[in-house]
Amino acid sequence: MDLRQMSYFVAMYEEASVTRAAERLNIVQPAVSVQLARLEESIGQKLFYRTPKGMVPTHAGDDAYRRFQPILREVEQARRALTIGGDTVKGHVSLGAVSSVANNALSETLRIFHGRYPEVTLRATGGYTTDLIEMLRTAQLDLVIVNTPSRGGRGFDTLPIINEDLALICDIAHPPLPATLHPREAAERDLVIPSQRHGLRLIIDAAFSAHDATLAPRFEFDELKTIEEFLPDSGFATILPPIAVHRALRTGRLRMHPIVPSVPRRLVCLSNTARPLSRAAELFVEELRERMIEVSSDLTKAIGATP
């Protein structure tokens, strides 16, 4: 066996499909099948059952995955360490982020990061959680900052970024509301919230459903900036993580009302287990994490826990 066969096997194991494995590896399907057959021949065991629903690993396949994955990780880490050389942090980082990050903390983090590591180039892409995870899976991105997915899938490393409770947010001139609202009370407001394609909406729907609160939004906008600009003088409210509109909250253009029981949103960084993050990428993730925690803390101090 060789490293190529191992990498093809790991892709097949994680994707459970010859087609998706070939797409991920950017090769033709027969090449994947040939290398897998050679690997099975060399170890004398079947690694997958071929079923109508895809490739299902055998016990030997599960064992091979546990053994091959650390080897491929170490090889990739060694390659990157030898490529970088010296103490200067260099390289390119391709990242994706959901709009609640891309609209705010991301731009500030990019400025700070560039000042500290000027020889690192970055490409940032905004999008929905499911779309970004697919781009990560197919190696279009090195890492993604997303809401905790319901199904991340095999082959992803997860690093927590920040936990934040969603709140009902409205214009400063909105009619008076209780300091805190139960999900059922929040659901009764005239709401503008993201559509069900948006990761935040899935979190909202699940939490409100658990409290027998039925959401019937009057408007659905997926761009959080559009929601923020719509709220003034509209009489509407929204349900968002406060950090997504932290500037408007700090300047007093908008106000927030915590929802109790809380509706938590967990933001995480996902990376591909088979492609360890470079030093530059690790430093960027840490910078973003620190910045988001700082912004959240400053916001709480500025407006209080129950404005």
pLDDT digits (tens, 9 = 90+) for 159-173: 999 999 999 999 999
pTM, rounded to two decimals = 0.71
Greater confidence, 271 or 300? 271
Q: What is the pLDDT of residue 305?
A: 46
| 22: CB partners within 8 A, 6+ apart | 28, 29, 31, 32
Cβ(185)–Cβ(261) below 8 Å? no
Peptide bond into 261 cis (omega under 30): yes
In the chain, what are the domain boundaries? 3-84, 88-307
Q: Taking 90 as the threshold, does the pLDDT of residue 204 lie above it? A: yes
- Over 70: is that where the pLDDT of 242 sits? yes
> For residue 268, which phi and psi values (nearest 5 degrees)?
-135, 160
Among 100-114, 141-155, 221-235, 288-302, which stretch is predicted with the lowest mean pLDDT?
Answer: 141-155
Q: Which residues contact 79 (CB under 8 A, 6 or more apart)?
A: none
Could you give the CA distance from residue 177 to residue 191 in angstroms, rounded to a whole number? 14
Across the chain, what does the average pLDDT equal? 88
Tell me the CATH number for domain 88-307: 3.40.190.290
Residue type, 61: G
Span 256-262, mean pLDDT? 95
Whether the per-residue pLDDT at 102 is higher than 80: the answer is no
Q: Decide which of 3.10.105.10, 3.30.450.20, 3.30.420.40, 1.10.10.10 is the CATH code for 3-84.
A: 1.10.10.10
Rounded CA-CA distance 58/49 in Å is: 7
